[in-house]
Amino acid sequence: MSDRTALHLAGCLALSVVLALYQLGERPLSSPAEARYALIAREMLERGDWVQPRLNGVRYYEKPPLLYWSVAASYRLFGQNEMASRLPSAVSYIATVAVTFFLAHELLGASAAPLAALVLATSAGPLLYGRSLFTDTLFGLWLAVSFLGLVLTVRGRRGLLGPLLFWSGLSLAGLTKGLVGIVLPLGTASTCWLLFGRKRLPHDLRPLLGAAIVSLVLVPWHLLLAARDPAFMRFYFVNEHVLRFFNAREPVDYTPLSIGGFWLATALWLLPWSLFLPAAIASPDLRRGLALPLAWSVWVLAFFTTSASRLEYYALPAFPALAVIVAAYWRRAIDARPAPAGARVAAWIVLGIGVALVPWLVASRESTAEFLTSLITLLDGVYRDYLVAHPDVSFAVVERCLRLIRPFAVFILLFGGAALLASRLSRARLAFTIWVLGAVGLVWFAELGHRLVAPDRSQRDLAPIIRALWEPTAELVVWGTYEDYCGVSLYTGYPTRMLDSARGDLLFGYRRGDASGLFLTREGFERLWASNGRVFVVGDRGLDIPGAILLAAGPRSMLVTNRPPPLAFRHGEDPSRRPPDKESGGS
């Protein structure tokens, strides 16, 4: 690697570090996903059991353990806090930017490498998920490593490095998210072998070396857990892989997207760079040199399009390959000097959206709220699930996001105008720089919106109230699906009992008698509620508990107790902690 190339890599990594780590711990951990994974990692540390994942004492086999191990290691090093929780995902995002750089360097040359790295670093999906505690960011890293190994092997470069990366990435992807981590690399390799005339590819991939790596990295955890729990294998492989693919797992506790919705979400997560994909793929010259990234992208997109359980973020592993394709388009534009027609078309699209939507978004508050609700439910499965269960609910969180509409509208107009001006000046390098800056701006508006809705998805604000009123005999109860409110366990650290929670991801462990003392029946809860001890209940706003005293309420959830708080608490200095002087039966 030349000094110039190393400098480009350092610059791309520096940008990705700033984007990933800046105020990483600012937002509270959201429920269900972030708080759930953080709790599992914390239980691993507390129990000293690194084999059997558990959530609130209940066995949890939906995912392999590599993410939990990573978060637990981060807790050991940096303490248990929001930044340490998200650090494995953030590091995975940064590392994926580096892998994308090397992919483009290998496939397109040194001049395209920084372009591909910047495209990935500033795409909405990879960055936003990289700033969250999330399985698919780590999963995407290992698949990108495996793809890089396949590229090196197909091109006959660097001896054993290609097969080592291919099989190591495959194994670690499998240890992050299961069998799909094996299917996608092997499927792409098979396509290269059968369709691209790579007859020696099976031999060049060193299958014996691969078998050894898989046996050492992927297999041991599965065997250890199967030896401890004979029910693991059937649940993990049949329910969580085969039946999930056909959207027939038990339980189906998510709302999958339609095929059109999945492709639209994929295009939105790749913004603004998805605007250049049609022009890049339409070029015969570019297609001929991009057979490998096209094959990888097609395998990822086709696999999850075929799956009936497709979710909005499932296409993220294709993004490094798609970034390489977009980089090939821009490299040719920069080498040819004038900005290509595709850049002008994309700029006109952004400017046209600004001109058409800005008056509507700014003038019509109701239409804007409906648009934001549709966008949120497309890109966030938690709100989509909630809307299915509560079709008449109007999202209070949308009201918070409306304050960003005016500055966002101005930004879109400026971004589109600057991109169009640069393209008409025929300065492709300037145009690309403007698109990078515009991409950072788009993603940061999305991050600001994420911060505004974060309190609705987290129980962090409830923890000080519960701690202030906690007594030695107090009980904390989650009423409803535990994962939706598990942040209250994370932030209080108190034992949490569960009512109507024998569903969702805890159903498997509940049926096997896990943490039986934590699962309450209705009769058991009524006795507990009528006792002399203080009981806290966290659940949906629709809960109707006789005699409940409201302590806090959000757009979708509330905290109630069975006994009035002391006067000292009521007249404390912080008014946000002061409960109302009335009983609440759900509001």
Whether 294 maps to a domain, the answer reads no
Whether residue 217 is contained in a domain is answered as no
Give the per-residue pLDDT at 254: 82
Among 455, 489, 507, residue at a domain's last position:
455
Q: Can you tell me the distance from the alpha carbon of 184 to that of 170, in angstroms, rounded to the nearest whole number?
A: 9
Asked if residue 439 and residue 343 are part of one domain, the reply reads yes
Q: Is the pLDDT of residue 497 over 90?
A: yes
Among 405, 431, 455, identify where a domain stops: 455
Distance CA 207, CA 204 (A): 8
On whether both 373 and 470 belong to a single domain, the answer is: no
Q: How confident is the model at residue 391 (pLDDT cuts 50, 70, 90)?
A: low
Burial of 356 (0-12, 13-18, 19+ CB in 10 A): exposed
Do the domain assignments include residue 498? yes
- The answer to whether residues 446 and 469 belong to one domain is no
Is there a single domain that holds both residue 355 and residue 395? yes
pLDDT at position 381: 83
Give domain status of residue 371, yes or no: yes
Q: Does one domain contain both 491 and 565?
A: yes
List the structure tokens of 270.
Answer: 């790749």
Do 430 and 489 fall within a single domain? no
551 pLDDT exceeds 90? yes
Q: Is residue 512 part of a domain?
A: yes
Task: Note whether residue 487 is domain-resident.
Answer: yes
On whether both 438 and 470 belong to a single domain, the answer is no
Last residue of some domain: 438, 455, 472?
Answer: 455
Question: DSSP class of residue 537?
Answer: E
Candidate from 169-173, 357-361, 435-439 with smallest mean pLDDT: 357-361
- pLDDT bin (cut points 50, 70, 90) of residue 339 is low
Structural domain harbouring 435: 337-455
More confident residue, 27 or 359: 27
Q: Are residues 344 and 450 in the same domain?
A: yes
Q: Angle, nearest 10°, between helix axes 381-389 and 365-379?
A: 110
Greater confidence, 196 or 465? 465
State the pLDDT confidence band at 186, using cuts at 50, 70 and 90.
Answer: very high
- Segment 379-397 mean pLDDT: 71
Give pLDDT, residue 573: 44
Asked if pLDDT for residue 576 goes beyond 60, the answer is no
**Residues 477 and 383 placed together within one structural domain of the fold:** no
333 contacts: CB under 8 Å, gap ≥ 6: 339, 340, 342, 343, 428, 431, 432
- Distance, in Å, from the CA atom of 148 to the CA atom of 317, rounded to the nearest integer, reads 13
- Based on the fold, state whether residues 367 and 388 are members of the same structural domain: yes
Is 341 a domain residue?
Answer: yes
The answer to the question of residue 47 being in a domain is no
3-state SS of 246-293 is CCCCCCCCCCCCCHHHHHHHHHHHCCCHHHHHHHHHHCHHHHHHCHHH
Q: Are residues 416 and 482 in the same domain?
A: no
Q: Are residues 467 and 566 in the same domain?
A: yes
Looking at the structure of the chain, the number of domains it has is 2
Residues 303-337: pLDDT tens digits? Answer: 999 999 999 999 999 999 999 999 999 998 887 76
What pLDDT, in 10s, does the model give residues 124-139? Answer: 999 999 999 999 999 9
The C-alpha atoms of residue 455 and residue 552 are separated, in whole angstroms, by 12
